[in-house]
Amino acid sequence: MQRYFTNEKLSLFEPFFISGDDFHHMSRVMRMKSGEKVYIVDKEENAFIAEVIEIGESAVKLSAQENIEKSPELPVQITIASGLPKGDKLDLIVQKATELGAFSFVPFAAERSISKWETKKVRKKIERLEKIAKEAAEQSHRTHIPTISFCESFTVLMNRLAEFDYVLLAYEESARLNETKTLVSTFEKMKPGEKLLVIFGPEGGVGDKEVKLLTQANVLFAGLGSRILRTETAPLYFLAAASYHFELEKSF
């Protein structure tokens, strides 16, 4: 079944309209007819099965038929802070981590980032990633579309730590030293709705100054298993581990 988002709040059996690009997609691309059913996620992230009532000139009229109860969202909010990696790796991170349940993304200019974002290009780069996140959210049947915000320096990122209940650094050295307890014990402590920020370095890892600042801020350093993961693979590991912990083992 096709899946669409609306900025309205929906109520069961009350008609609503979809226009713009999604109207085009429904009427021209999918050639939908009255009676067909689609998934709709409303602005409060509730998911419904809705029936097409009528295809109009510039909008589709629908009616929400059924509220889909089970949330496709992780019970905790995980924000992925990635030191700007090379090439188009951030595209892969945002696409795959959105499928795996990331709540939001904070790319940041890291000490060892080779890739740079020129100030005048930031808006365009964020819009590109937002589009990737939206498409991946639709594809994976999520109700929340992850947001993207850029930190132009590590200091700006440090100033945001207080927004989160937990902050972890995914640290390559911790994996080397066989650190296995931090991730499990952090997940064990977390309650539904709590917010976690996890920081990943770029290709060269986190820099010495960054490690020092994070240590001073009492951020915990977590190992992610026994292998060295690439900068674009580590966030995917982290989110899959969170899903395994919160959705399969505990399922609260």
Q: What are phi and psi of 12, to 5 degrees?
A: -60, 135
Instruction: Determine the Cα–Cα distance for residues 245 and 74; give it in Å rounded to an integer.
Output: 10
Shortest Å distance, C-beta 246 to its own copies: 9
| SS3 label, residue 171 | coil
Shortest Å distance, C-beta 22 to its own copies: 17
Shortest Å distance, C-beta 152 to its own copies: 30
Shortest Å distance, C-beta 225 to its own copies: 4
* Residue number, 63 or 95, with CB nearest to its own copies: 95
CA dist 38 → 34, 61, 167, 177, 182 (Å): 11, 12, 38, 50, 42
Instruction: Determine the Cα–Cα distance for residues 25 and 31; give it in Å rounded to an integer.
Output: 8
* Residue number, 60 or 93, with CB nearest to its own copies: 93
* Residue number, 29 or 177, with CB nearest to its own copies: 177
* Residue number, 25 or 141, with CB nearest to its own copies: 141
Shortest Å distance, C-beta 172 to its own copies: 10
Shortest Å distance, C-beta 154 to its own copies: 25
Contact (CB, 8 A) for 191 and 250? no
* Residue number, 151 or 242, with CB nearest to its own copies: 242
Q: Applying CB under 8 A, which residues contact its own copies?
A: 41, 45, 47, 68-74, 96, 99-101, 139-142, 176-178, 180-181, 183-184, 223-230, 233, 236-238, 240-241, 243-245, 247-249, 251
Structure tokens belonging to residue 28: 């021209």
* Residue number, 14 or 69, with CB nearest to its own copies: 69
Which residues sit opposite 195 in a β-bridge? 77
Quote the strand ranges of the chain, DSSP E: 3-5, 15-19, 37-41, 47-55, 59-68, 77-82, 104-105, 147-148, 166-170, 195-200, 220-222
Question: Widest CA span of the chain, in angstroms?
Answer: 64
The DSSP secondary-structure symbol of 162 reads G
